[in-house]
Structure 1
């Protein structure tokens, strides 16, 4: 299955890599509805959703026929992979991801981004920066292992922003290569 044929796509990768932006652009290119997990999980004031409610929310989203879901959320990744047809993994360097987080904080600090829950304005958070720094060895390894355990899910790994642009051009029909 080519990525462009998939109707249920996961976007995974480190914070600051651009998962939400890529999801929006993929949604525009494919016509698939986009779901931002951060927007579902975080309640006003950055309060996390209760675990059982979170699982029900994810189950409701993945039961749909078509979607692009962006976000890692390891506690529900196996569940999402069970329904996904494809995944795009943004395997970017720490420097790129940290720069992405800092750029995002600089440009949207104090405002709620479209991919976030209501009442969750962008903020500068040192613990989040540490999570970004640690992602490749801790969470990234886990995500890669789960992707490998699901060979039925077509996985496209992007190593940098240029790869993402190539993918988008191909899906938008500006490039005749297949992804």
Structure 2
């Protein structure tokens, strides 16, 4: 385990990272999409510290390829990327049939002024987290998104592992 993972383990920060008491009982499959290497490293370490696996994609196009092949529990999507923004990537994901068409996507952005939560929800996102990323905010957003998705699936008659 890396020193970063030890520093941010859920044992050391339980109250701030339990997503208001809604903590998944299983390892999550997370896809993190970002064009900045350091952001990919930091988020991978955070997810690992909480026992979740995080695949990575460097662009919207690469993300769509991965999302067409493998089911994810949640996607963490950078908003400002070259060639295809996070907003365009989510729009394409929602328009395509596939295993992740309705998977919750959390926007990650350094721009906390331009859009609000209702704006992101209307664009197909489940939530947003501002950069620099705080562990407690990221994990709370992930936990909320996963639990809401589980409730949606349960209402649709699909059993999930919670």
Same fold (TM over 0.5): no
For the pair shown, which has the larger CA radius of gyration, 1 or 2? 1
Q: Structure 2 length normalisation: TM-score?
A: 0.35
Q: Structure 1 length normalisation: TM-score?
A: 0.32
Higher helix share: 1
